[in-house]
Amino acid sequence: MARYLVDTSVLIDYSKFYEPARNWLQRVIDSDDDVGTCSVIVAEFMSGIRPQDREDWDEVLANMAYWDIAYETATQAGYYRYVLARQGIQLQTPDALIAAVAKEQSAILVTNNARDFPMTDIDLLVP
């Protein structure tokens, strides 16, 4: 059984019926694999959802695991930003937090924006 953290970019593609993200995510949701999200992803995704569609998307997201951002996870995100900044890579705090959640949960980060996650200690999947 695999464990996946679904990035905002994949949720957006899923919501717009874009392939291959739509098919991939539906297949994983219907499987025994763990599919998760976190506060950053939920906030980013829901910021683009019309009020009349929120109830439907609340239901979709409620069927995914929800992984909190603990103190240790936030510390890891800060470490990512520190290390990468010294390599000349400017990492946005939301991306650092998402990567830290993936690391904390031993989850594969599923994203359409692999360049936003240059960390070498997390696994990425582009659907």
Per-residue pLDDT reduced to its tens digit, 7-22: 999 999 999 999 999 9
Q: Quick one: how far is CA 4 from the chain centroid?
A: 8
Helices (H) and strands (E) in the chain, counts: 6, 5
34-75 pLDDT, tens digit each: 999 999 999 999 999 999 999 999 999 999 999 999 999 999
Look over the chain and give the mean of its residue pLDDT values, rounded to a whole number.
96
| All structural domains of the chain | 3-125 (3.40.50.1010)
* Token pair for 87: 């390599």
